[in-house]
Amino acid sequence: MNPRITDETTHNNKSCRHFAQRMAKTPRSFIREILKVTENPSIISFAGGLPNPALIDVKGISLAAATVLEQDGPSVLQYSTTEGYLPLRQFIAERYKKRLGLSVSPGEILITNGSQQCLDLIGKVFIDNRDHIAIERPGYLGAIQAFSLYEPVFHPVNLNDNGLDPGMLAHVLDAHRVKLFYGIPNSQNPSGITYSNDRRQELASVMGNTDTLFVEDDAYGELNFSGKSLLSMRKFLLDQTIITGSFSKILAPGMRLGWVVAPPDIMEQLVIAKQASDLHSNYLSQRIAFQYLHQQNIDDHIQKICQVYKTQCHLMIDMIREKFPESVNFTEPKGGMFVWLTLPEGISSTEVFEQSLKKGVAVLPGTPFYTDGGGGNTIRLNFSNSTEQKIITGMERFSNVLNTLM
């Protein structure tokens, strides 16, 4: 037998790959695919969801890294515990008390590789094939992708200006045994909507008589333009709430540090799932992050981020009001990183995306944020990863496209 022929035949006959069936049901990250298109520096991109690189405190992180390696080099480069560095978990617990009035013990906190891993671990622990889960409509693409691996039945629940529709959620919970609801109450991705405190109480009333978990993604909670924190769902649903958090938006996304807060019985299962996945999160990053938080004033840093994002957000909205057709509806975020557009029926966001790229600006069509095939006339715009001049130039280009198509 000719080995060369055998190797080529095996290499080319990819139909012999026996991938798990779940892979066919898991969508690619549409955002990651679009980001490949926007690598051209001449394209102004509002398509991604990146923090502003100018606001990453490179000097402060460098100092923290140098201190950690100099003082404790051998141990910070060693294996560590699954739960994460205890002083970092203590810091997070104390910050919940200070910021939200929540009593959280370090034992209820697990450090993860970004908040995205939280979603994967929650999926592993709770979701079996054909289980029913509820999610916002539109919902966070990263959660849709993470949960899709476990092949659930999604039940999308509409958002309005004050947050999730409680009547629609009640209907879903009455009709199905829903294991969990996943939502982002603060500056939701992709819509930018923030739940009002009254709406949070309404949702708690709807869920309080069920065993459905509320998975509260608080990745954007610190990015509140008013500087005032809203109540966590844990205030209302103590034993039914899992909170996920992240240092990506307030420190540096490349450090890949997030965390999950859960009651002890759930935490036990999450720890087992994490041990099976990666043993523990990057210990060096944990130590550098804690050292940074010890050396620097994180509140001052967050305030600076919020001031910049608020200015950029208001500039983008001013451009929408001034330049866009009146038939385009838009959200007015109170924080976070995104503005959500709804175009008139019949206008395809995919066509808008394609025409915009030709004009040197990238936007994100809204369809990947819908689990029911909707959103064909919606678009997400990111205002955080830009300069004011890029927002002005990019929105000028984008408005020309919309005015031509509409």
Choose the weakest-confidence range: 18-32, 46-60, 189-203. 18-32
Question: Does position 368 have pLDDT exceeding 90, yes or no?
Answer: yes
- Residue 37, beta-bridge partner list: none
Question: Does position 129 have pLDDT exceeding 90, yes or no?
Answer: yes
Instruction: Extract the tokens encoding 205.
Output: 């009333």
The mean per-residue pLDDT over the stretch 93-98 comes to 97
Q: How many CB atoms lie within 10 A of CB 232?
A: 24
Measured CA distances, 312 to 247, 250, 276, 381 (Å) = 21, 17, 42, 12
User: Which 3-state string (H, E, C) describes 183-200?
Assistant: ECCCCCCCCCCCCCHHHH
- Residue 157, beta-bridge partner list: 136
Choose the weakest-confidence range: 25-39, 130-144, 217-231, 292-306. 25-39
Q: Give CA–CA dist 341/320, Å, rounded.
A: 10
Q: Model confidence over 105-122: pLDDT tens digits?
A: 999 999 999 999 999 999
The mean per-residue pLDDT over the stretch 311-317 comes to 98
C-alpha torsion 29→51→181→118, nearest 10: 80
Question: Does position 244 have pLDDT exceeding 80, yes or no?
Answer: yes
The mean per-residue pLDDT over the stretch 348-375 comes to 94
Sheet holding 378-382, edge to edge: 329-330, 338-342, 378-382, 364-365
The pLDDT score that the predictor gives to residue 41 is 82
Q: Give CA–CA dist 351/401, Å, rounded.
A: 10
Detail the DSSP E strand segments found in 122-257.
132-137, 153-160, 163-164, 178-183, 213-217, 241-246
Fold equal for 28-56+300-405 and 58-295 = no
pLDDT above 90: percentage of residues in the chain: 88
The mean per-residue pLDDT over the stretch 277-305 comes to 97
Q: Give CA–CA dist 356/15, Å, rounded.
A: 37
Q: Could you tell me the pLDDT band of residue 14, with boundaries at 50, 70 and 90?
A: low
For residue 368, report the phi and psi dihedrals to the nearest 5 degrees: -65, -15
Which residue carries 């031509």 as its tokens? 404
Alpha-helical (H) ranges within 13-140 are 30-37, 58-76, 86-100, 114-126
- CATH top-level class of 28-56+300-405: alpha beta
Q: How many CB atoms lie within 10 A of CB 372?
A: 9
Alpha-helical (H) ranges within 240-359 are 264-278, 283-295, 298-323, 349-358
DSSP letter for each residue of 330-369: E---SBSSEEEEEPPTT--HHHHHHHHHHTTEE-EESGGG
Q: Could you tell me the pLDDT band of residue 38, with boundaries at 50, 70 and 90?
A: low
Environment class of 59 (CB within 10 Å of its CB; exposed 0-12, middle 13-18, buried 19+): exposed
- CATH top-level class of 58-295: alpha beta
Distance of CA 150 to the CA centre of its chain: 19
For residue 380, report the phi and psi dihedrals to the nearest 5 degrees: -105, 135
CA-nearest of 349, 339, 345, 344 to 380 is: 339
Do residues 169 and 134 lie in contact, with contact meaning Cβ atoms separated by under 8 Å?
Answer: yes
Q: Give CA–CA dist 383/386, Å, rounded.
A: 6
Can you give the residue ranges of every domain in the chain?
Answer: 28-56+300-405, 58-295
Q: Mean pLDDT across the chain, nearest whole number?
A: 93
Q: Which pTM value belongs to this model?
A: 0.92
Instruction: Extract the tokens encoding 348.
Output: 């395809």
